[in-house]
A and B are shown apart, each in its own frame.
Chain A
Amino acid sequence: MKCCDTMDSETKREIIMEHYTNPLNRDTIDDPKYIKINSNSETCIDNLDIYVLFNNNIIEDIHFNGEACAISTSAASIMTRLLKNKTIKEVKELINEYKDMIETGKEYDRLEEALVYSDIYKQQNRKGCAIIPWLGIEKAIAEYEKAK
């Protein structure tokens, strides 16, 4: 999906709910080639497992599973699609932009569908939820780079 100068809040809500009720890449991967990361937070009860397949500094595949709220489930779903086939360098930039958007509301075009969370900064109790899957990717990259 290509978006979006500014999405109205109803569109954002619909996209989030669609990813929550029918998440992409939500399953458990039992393949040692994938790096598995558990991502959770102190302030919220979401608990996600993230599975990442790297090849030659590119993220080839991402899956996730776990018990989590609408925001973090949809954020994980959207993230799996957005980051697939991107280089680690690009992903690191996207992570920074995403984090900045969650904190400040600043919109970066490259975040595409993930821009549905550009209003989250107004909801203190939801920021953590939106960030959880992305922290998982950050950890997975660190592990991949350490192992190289």
Chain B
Amino acid sequence: MNREDFPILSNNLVYLDNGATTLKPKVVIDKITEYYSSYSANAHRGDYDISLKVDNEYEKTRDLVKKFINASSRKEIIFTSGTTESINMIAFGFFKDYLEENEEIIITKSEHASNVIPWFKIAKDNKLIIKYIDLDDNYEVTIDNLKKIITPKTRVISLAGITNVLGDLRPLKDIIKTAHENNILVVVDGAQYVPHTKVDVRALDIDFLAFSAHKMCGPTGVGILYGKENLLEKLAPHNYGGGMNESFDNLNEVYLKPLPTRLEAGTPNIAGVIGFGATIEYLNSIGLSNIRKYEHELGKYLFDNLSKIRHITIVNKKPSSIIAFNIDGIFSQDVAVYLNKYGICVRAGNHCAKILKDEVGVKNTVRVSLYFYNTKEEIDKIIDLLKDKNKILNEML
């Protein structure tokens, strides 16, 4: 759908690496260009017209994000540089103080590095324990397996809403309900989740949510940290400096501004944040439920057709808009190089989920990740190229 909105698609690029980042529609590009060409002032500073315009546009994005995920208050929406920074702020700014020796953090083996390594680090520093929810035969998280590992020492569960290797959607509603019954907080890595399905932080009762604009047709270098207000109030800033202080005279008298500004020191990525506002309006105009439905169909089409090819082993046990597979006897990177010769972009590797290999037994795969602007014709094209193993062997070098 909506292919004509994307200038980059006018030259027949087949872009199937949407898990890594997504393409940008013209409305977003134009919005960013407009900022740089007609009102490129700083935010929260000036008393002149173009600076006021910056403030208005910047804060409008905050309102749009609040509505987009159904947060209660603008104070709960913090602009960051991306999912990675958001999760680091959550782990180091909040949980490092909150967790005590021998308390437990629960994650899974199919998390992205950005939702693993920050927890490893605070676990090491504070002598905490990391536990993994066992994945079932479909490599998915189930409530039963979660319940098995919860103990009175468990204080936080951090997991992706949708994973970046297999695209499975976690049963967040039940997970969060179970967690809260046990006084456990839940952090949701929304990098692959928020772009692909309607998210309602209040209905799900999510405690913290992190996501990136660039994975949902927005600019790079912008992300969101959502947290319930009472939790964010306790989150210590990792940056101190301009913009976030109320006043300072000496060592003992630095007064910080209230949320959300307290957590946004320094000149932010203004162009990016403003562009992200246009991104959300754009996605709203298509409708997240339409996106989900369309991707679901496309994912099934891809899965069914890949399944028919005998020399292909798919890691996923069921259809998904992210499919990981291998061609028997050919290294994933060689497959990616081969497809690149036909203008097709796919990813080869471990997709930053290095501990998933313990579960699925393969380290590297080819990954196709779809978004709403992909089409059945594009899938036909890749299926056609993958069908003939001799052709791959002949052309992959």
Residues of A within 8 A of B (CB): 13, 16-17, 44-46, 67-71, 73, 125-126, 129
Contact = CB atoms under 8 A, between A and B. Distances in A.
B63 interface: no
17 contacts: A16-B397, A17-B397, A45-B332, A45-B333, A45-B349, A46-B333, A67-B331, A67-B363, A67-B364, A69-B333, A69-B334, A69-B337, A70-B331, A70-B396, A70-B397, A125-B340, A126-B337
A129 B396 CA distance: 14
Contacts of A16: 397
Contacts of A46: 333
Contact of A17 (B332, B340, B363, B393): B393
Q: Is the interface of B mostly helix, strand, loop or mixed?
A: mixed
Interface of B: 330-334, 337, 340, 348-350, 363-364, 393-394, 396-397
Nearest to A68: B331
Given A67-B363, A67-B364, A125-B340, A44 B333 contact: yes
A69 B392 CA distance: 13
Contacts of A17: 393, 397
| 8 closest residue pairs by CB, A with B | A69-B333, A45-B349, A69-B331, A70-B334, A69-B334, A45-B364, A13-B397, A45-B333
A125 B335 CA distance: 13
B364 to A, nearest CB: 6
A70 B336 CA distance: 12
Contact of A71 (B340, B364, B394, B397): B397
A77 B397 CA distance: 16
A129 B364 CA distance: 15
Given A17-B393, A125-B340, A126-B337, 16 more contacts: A16-B397, A45-B332, A45-B333, A45-B364, A67-B331, A67-B364, A68-B331, A69-B333, A69-B337, A70-B330, A70-B331, A70-B334, A70-B397, A71-B397, A73-B331, A129-B333
